[in-house]
Amino acid sequence: MIIIFQCYGGTHTSAAAASIYLGALPRSRVPRLEEVLAMPYFDRVDSAGVGALNYAGRDRRGNRVFILGSSRWGGPMRELLVPLSGLYGPVTERPGVAVIDCYPLLSWPVRMGGFISRRLGLTALGRPLVGRGILRIYPRLLELVERFERDPAPHLL
């Protein structure tokens, strides 16, 4: 299975969710800010990179995990990917694709911090703001990941 964590920019909430899923961020506690800031892809993808599938690693079952930013077209992109993935063969002959939508978890601190860092280039100001925003929504991110792990079916294309 191919697992895709999707959000607006592909560099904050989806990166955090993928890191939780892959074990790079803890599940038994809220991480420290430094741990969040050290995540792969965290606050590093700019607008030119939105849309690219960034490889995050393999889970315990060997499934490949990706991070995707779809800007404000997350819903239409998911709708398109359903039939387009079928062009690569029937589901019995190719890996299944699961897309976990992290966009609903986008909070104002994450949105604002992301804008300050990615759009304005003021990373020293924006990045910690995003990081603290991720910490505030961390329980919800964890719940999203665990909900996917319990039942991946609703996320399959």
Considering beta carbons, is residue 86 or 104 the nearer one to other proteins?
86
Pairing of strands 64-69, 53-58: antiparallel
Site string for other proteins, 73-92 (x = CB under 8 A): x--xx-xxxxxxxxxxx---
Site string for other proteins, 98-117 (x = CB under 8 A): --------------------
Q: Which region among 72-80, 108-116, 129-137, 140-148 touches other proteins (by CB under 8 A)? A: 72-80
Considering beta carbons, is residue 11 or 25 the nearer one to other proteins?
11
Cβ neighbours of residue 157 under 8 Å, at least 6 residues apart?
A: 78, 81, 82, 85, 96, 97, 98, 99
Whole-number Cα distances in Å, 55 to 3, 97, 124, 137: 10, 14, 26, 23
The residues binding other proteins (CB under 8 A) are 2, 49-53, 64, 66, 68, 70-71, 73, 76-77, 79-89, 94-95, 97
